[in-house]
Chain A
Amino acid sequence: MQINETSEISKFKPVIVAFCCNWCSYAGADLAGNNRLNYPADVKIIRLPCSCRVNPMFILRAFQKGADGVIICGCHPGDCHYTTGNYYARRRMTILFSMLDYLGIDRGRTRVEWVSAAEGAKFAATMNDFAETVIKLGPNKRLGDLRCRK
């Protein structure tokens, strides 16, 4: 299942921010590129050293400024380039996402995926799937900042 940007699947073009760790997921994204694996252009990647660098404030900031979905990608647990980073990221995001959900903010808009440097295909598939989920949810109303709407 691929969402080809030229196809007519949806009129709604979401803004999706993907935080990728430099060692696994960003490399995975590059591999997806090397293999010409298509995923929506709505996904824009921000390169970080590690998934444990993702501060909840970045995620909320993205939603504030108009993002419709935020996904965090890191090395598989156990494979972190910094040995333990993604374990902390996992706990933090568990608490944060649960808190967002508790406030009634659509849970589908946030996601954590472990993508290794060898998993270009998984990266593309993940992004396609996430984009589709976000498109289904429609524009982010509950955690957006009205002032940032165009």
Chain B
Amino acid sequence: MRKLSLFNISKLYEMISDNKQLYLPVDNGAGQAGYKKWEYGMTMSQALNTVRSAKDFFFPQTENLVDFKMNGKNIEIIDTRSEAEDFVLFGVRACDARSFSILDKVFLSDPVDSFYKSRREHGTVITLSCTRPEETCFCTAFGIDPSNPEGDISSWIEDGDIYFEAITDKGAVLMDSFQSILDEADESAVETQKTETRKIMAKLPLADFNLDGFGDAALLEKFNSPKWAELSRTCLGCGTCTFVCPTCQCYDICDFDTGHEVKRFRCWDSCMYSDFTKMAHGNPRVTQMEKFRQRFMHKLVYFPANNNGEYGCVGCGRCLAKCPISMNIAKVAKKLGDN
């Protein structure tokens, strides 16, 4: 483990952005934080987390796939992919860090999504431990330790210093690039912080959040539960929960006619939207209840069923904070769970 005084953090930013793009959470002027490309003078936000999750960097909201050009009546197909640049994500929290491994299960299993893959390869993640979690946090329910985040490099901020520990080879390589400004440090420095954070986590309102009874055995029972109707009754059908979610990975593929060519791009879709899974014959999910149920069944039942028990949620609490009607996964789990 190595450390750096926070006074010199901008030196670190400089060194990293010398040969890679560096992104970190900064205040966006609307009282919230969002990832921005680091420029000289920028400082990291004090906010616990960003409104949009870090998944944007590997799975952006819109992404051009291919262009078609019409010359008269014959069509020319153009691959618009450009070689992605290396980039570094700084200050990612444990929950978002875990979300990457969930997305990997979707995009890197056959057939591999080459767009996503290339971004993952070019990105290095420096995570930052949490010390003051929000009441909306429940990552521990998914076996995430916010005091000891995953990633290529993990970091901790403890009285005036920031501590780094490379987890992966990629992380080690990156860390070498700024070794020069780091000092030796030993694990014990952050141990107290870790235990403190764990204590706080245990005190959180959602500490008792659990998913007992959500295994795939319960699939039909949950699916047919009469409670969905009531839960979804006032759902507005907006996409807020899905768009701030670090693990939602549904997308739609659309064409856009620019006038001189057709751009085929993909963009995030939301299971809450009226035309989600709309097909030529119509839509298998017609009511908001069915759409609403899909979102939670997917995260809490279907996904674990296909991914040896891993849930499609990391407990970041964004949907709890952002849903216009405050109907969220915590309430659903409570209502449908065994407890």
Contact = CB atoms under 8 A, between A and B. Distances in A.
B151 to A, nearest CB: 34
Interface in A64-99: 65-66
Contacts of A147: 256, 258, 263
A11 interface: no
Nearest to B261: A147
B255 to A, nearest CB: 12
Interface residues of A, number: 6
Interface string A53-73: 000000000000110000000
Contacts of B258: 65, 145, 147-148
Contacts of B72: none
Nearest to A149: B258
Interface string B249-268: 00000001011100100000
A66 B260 CA distance: 11
Contacts of A145: 258
Chain A interface, DSSP helix/strand/loop, else mixed: loop
Interface string A111-150: 0000000000000000000000000000000000101101
A150 to B, nearest CB: 6
Interface string B144-177: 0000000000000000000000000000000000
Interface residues of B, number: 5
Contacts of A65: 258-259
Contacts of B259: 65-66, 148
Q: Which of A66, A145, A148 gathers the greatest number of chain B CB atoms within 10 Å?
A: A148
A108 B260 CA distance: 27
Contacts of B256: 147
A70 to B, nearest CB: 16
A150 B258 CA distance: 9
With a 10 A CB-CB cut-off, give which of A65, A66, A147, A150 has the most chain B CB atoms. A147
Contacts of B260: 148, 150
A48 to B, nearest CB: 21
A145 B260 CA distance: 13
A150 B256 CA distance: 15
A66 B263 CA distance: 16
A65 B260 CA distance: 10
A129 to B, nearest CB: 27
A147 B259 CA distance: 9
Contacts of B263: 147
A108 to B, nearest CB: 24
B254 to A, nearest CB: 12
B39 to A, nearest CB: 22
A148 B260 CA distance: 8
A38 to B, nearest CB: 28
Contacts of A66: 259
A46 to B, nearest CB: 16
A147 B256 CA distance: 9
Contacts of A150: 260
B9 to A, nearest CB: 35
A124 B263 CA distance: 38
A63 to B, nearest CB: 13
A131 B260 CA distance: 24
Interface of B: 256, 258-260, 263
11 contacts: A65-B258, A65-B259, A66-B259, A145-B258, A147-B256, A147-B258, A147-B263, A148-B258, A148-B259, A148-B260, A150-B260
* A-B interface, 9 closest residue pairs, ranked by CB to CB distance from nearest: A148-B258, A147-B258, A65-B259, A148-B259, A150-B260, A147-B263, A147-B256, A66-B259, A145-B258
Given A147-B258, A148-B259, 9 more contacts: A65-B258, A65-B259, A66-B259, A145-B258, A147-B256, A147-B263, A148-B258, A148-B260, A150-B260
